[in-house]
Structure 1
Amino acid sequence: MSGRAVLRLAGRASLEHAWLSIDRFAFAPASAAPLAALRIGLAAVLLLQAAMVAPALLELYGRSGILQGPLNEVFARSDLLRIGWLIDRLAPLGVGEESVVLGAGALYALALAALLVGWRTRAAAALAWLTHFLLMMTADSTSYGADNYANIFLFYLLWMPSGAALSLDRRRARAPQGPPATTRLSLRVVQVHLCISYLASGLAKASGEAWWNGEAVWRSVMLPGYRQVDFSWMAQHPFIPMIAGWLVILVEAGYAVLIWPRRTRRLWVAATVALHAGIAAFMGLVVFGALMAVLTVAAFGVSADPRGPAKAPPGAA
């Protein structure tokens, strides 16, 4: 056999091996439990946020609220979909601004409740995403990272078979009896998204001095807008915020690598949850902390091993 033929066979074998690896990674049989955990956890956190926001619904989303109509229009990022658009369209029908705002809020809460229990799961996800986007665009000046992450993952749930487990759809035989073929791929999308997000955040923090010398941690817990506990005593022990900054960089920058191996996965899930619990407790960002913890636990903390005769390949998350 000529050398060229040997190289051709070796190349073909390498391509086949690469394809099999991709196939195992993206399409191996998987349980829908992680996607169900994502659906339930995300809906629960957003219902908590909705309950917190409900008393100020008109102030946040009405034209006569915190930001008056013209100012709200100036600060808005998009002209595509806002409550003001609905108010203008429904006004000729005799529907007032208050009814539109309260109706949008109620529709959003009902969609989240349906998503939580897995009733008409894809339709509930679509309605939750649409109403969340409507509210987020209307009060854009008050939106932050938690709202952006929530909207992205609500959009993912439109396409993912999250109702295939732990849902009313499953109990009423509306969902397939076995996990759909797209389950593993859907889980990988969530996992890769989180890895990219944490890696980018970790590298951004590592590129400056504030997280290495403790200044960023000090400011985070001492700014009046975030201060929940008196940490002024750390001024006498500057090494504490410094070490805390190093740990934050380690957890975030190491996430994309160390969350995958079975030996380090539980440790990194626990460290990430602890990080966001600290953010919730010491900075008052309860929704953000809870949301990010839910995403990591659903993506990497819930087993995706199928419960049927098909077994996941060794090392699959």
Structure 2
Amino acid sequence: MKTLNSMYANVEDFFFKRDDRTEFLSFFRVSIGLIILLQFLAVIEDFETLFSSSSIIPQDIMNVFTPDWLITFPKIVSFFQSLGIAESTTITITKVSFISLSAFIIIGFYSRVSAIILLFLQIALLKGSSFFAYGADFFTSMSLFYLILFPSDQNFSLRNLIFSKKTRYISITQVKRLFQLHICIAYFFSGLDKGLGFNWWNGESIWKAIHLPYSNRDLNIDFSWLAEHSYFLIIIGWSTILIEMCYPFFIWQKTTQKTWLFLTISMHLGIALVLNLYYFSAIMIIWNITNFYFEQPIKKTSHSAKKTSTNPLGERVI
């Protein structure tokens, strides 16, 4: 009975214990807003080529893989055209809205409302041009979803600066734990999927990845020497599987948390520099820092560590 009570108390503390550390909220809001804005600005010149009726892949082909009930950007354009609004006007409004909403999230001006509208717009663009989407786009949607759940503009925000009202305590522990469990599950099954095959164990997947057409275009590293030293490829492949599969087990332990956070972030930095997947790597690094970097206990300074006492006259002495 005592064991069950202890287990129940631990679970209750895990999900419901008050968490007063809210630095991660401001970091997550600002960093995700910035990365979404920068990614959109990177493709804004090619917006018509990717999302308009003159897309390099005709819309009727992409619509084959889109359910009729789903609201996509081409359907939004068609709706406004029925009202007499030209496609070019809708595209311009969309560009301005996307940039403005990202900026509102960054500065903390009604971030939840901005995230809801931006999520709707982002999914409409994503589903309306699914041939151009990849994993990072889905992590963008999930990031906006968490911005809706979190009171991310509670601190360090323009909204609080303008209205300067006293912030009341809002429990964020449950959403924080959901976010942490989410990233743990994602890494574990990503590693498990890699481990079920043989390509990651023998280094073949690493060799193929670094020789993809879009890989290694910035640094232009000569990897030909790996052909004669294939054990490096095997080590990298095994390390990737172990880092991902063991993530849920070591990231929660205070003794290994910093180490595993460093290994995971290093892995994504390697992906960014070698495979040129900067956007995906940036989002995953932000997720890792948001969820577990701020879990580290605050170090006491030498001044705060000193004990204080009072003398018989009630005066404070050190």
Partner residue of 2:27?
A: 37
Q: Once the 2 structures are TM-superposed, how far is the Cα of residue 206 of structure 1 from its aligned partner?
A: 1.2
Partner residue of 1:19?
A: 8
Correspondence 1:207 to 2:192: no
Q: Matches of 1:208 and 1:92 in 2, distance apart?
A: 51
Q: Matches of 2:6 and 2:158 in 1, distance apart?
A: 40
Give the structure with the larger helix fraction: 1
- Length-normalised TM-score, structure 1: 0.87
Q: Matches of 2:91 and 2:296 in 1, distance apart?
A: 40
- Alignment of structure 1 residues 133-282 onto 2, 5 Å: 133-173=123-163, 177-181=167-171, 183-228=172-217, 229=220, 230-282=222-274
Partner residue of 2:311?
A: none
Moved more, 195-204 or 111-120: 111-120
Q: Once the 2 structures are TM-superposed, how far is the Cα of residue 101 of structure 1 from its aligned partner?
A: 2.1
Q: Deviation digits for residues 203-250 of structure 1, max 9, x if unmatched? A: 111111111111111100012232433322211211111111111111
CA RMSD of aligned residues (A): 1.9
Q: Matches of 1:304 and 1:158 in 2, distance apart?
A: 25
Q: Matches of 2:164 and 2:176 in 1, distance apart?
A: 21
Which of 68, 72, 81 is matched with 2:71 structurally? Answer: 81
Q: Once the 2 structures are TM-superposed, how far is the Cα of residue 133 of structure 1 from its aligned partner?
A: 0.9
Q: Once the 2 structures are TM-superposed, how far is the Cα of residue 176 of structure 1 from its aligned partner?
A: 5.7
Q: Matches of 1:103 and 1:51 in 2, distance apart?
A: 15
Change (3 A) 1:26 1:49: same
Change (3 A) 1:194 1:239: same
> In the alignment, residue 205 of structure 1 is paired with which amino acid?
K
Q: Deviation digits for residues 129-179 of structure 1, max 9, x if unmatched? A: 111111111111111110011101211221212222222233345676254
- Length-normalised TM-score, structure 2: 0.87
Q: Matches of 1:133 and 1:305 in 2, distance apart?
A: 37
Q: Once the 2 structures are TM-superposed, how far is the Cα of residue 72 of structure 1 from its aligned partner?
A: 2.4
State the percentage of identical aligned residues.
28
Q: Once the 2 structures are TM-superposed, how far is the Cα of residue 78 of structure 1 from its aligned partner?
A: 6.0
Higher relative contact order (CA 8 A, sep 6+): 1
Partner residue of 2:301?
A: none
2:26·2:153 contact (CA, 8 Å) conserved in 1?
Answer: yes
Q: Once the 2 structures are TM-superposed, how far is the Cα of residue 303 of structure 1 from its aligned partner?
A: 3.7
> In the alignment, residue 52 of structure 1 is paired with which amino acid?
A
1:36·1:163 contact (CA, 8 Å) conserved in 2?
Answer: yes
Q: How many residues align?
A: 294
> In the alignment, residue 287 of structure 2 is paired with which amino acid?
L
Q: Matches of 1:190 and 1:176 in 2, distance apart?
A: 27
Q: Matches of 2:227 and 2:296 in 1, distance apart?
A: 46
2:136·2:279 contact (CA, 8 Å) conserved in 1?
Answer: yes
2:243·2:264 contact (CA, 8 Å) conserved in 1?
Answer: yes
Q: Once the 2 structures are TM-superposed, how far is the Cα of residue 304 of structure 1 from its aligned partner?
A: 7.5
Q: Once the 2 structures are TM-superposed, how far is the Cα of residue 305 of structure 1 from its aligned partner?
A: 6.5
Change (3 A) 1:176 1:247: farther
Q: Matches of 1:239 and 1:78 in 2, distance apart?
A: 50
> In the alignment, residue 256 of structure 1 is paired with which amino acid?
P
> In the alignment, residue 219 of structure 1 is paired with which amino acid?
K
Change (3 A) 1:259 1:68: same
Which of 297, 303, 312 is matched with 2:289 structurally? Answer: 297
Which of 89, 92, 100 is matched with 1:102 structurally? Answer: 92
Q: Once the 2 structures are TM-superposed, how far is the Cα of residue 274 of structure 1 from its aligned partner?
A: 0.9
SS in 1 for 2:198: coil
Q: Matches of 2:174 and 2:163 in 1, distance apart?
A: 23
Change (3 A) 1:92 1:78: closer
Partner residue of 1:125?
A: 115
Q: Is there any run of 5+ residues in structure 2 with no aligned partner, and where? A: 299-318
- Alignment of structure 1 residues 296-315 onto 2, 5 Å: 296-303=288-295
Q: Is there any run of 5+ residues in structure 1 with no aligned partner, and where? A: 1-9, 307-317
Q: Matches of 1:273 and 1:78 in 2, distance apart?
A: 40
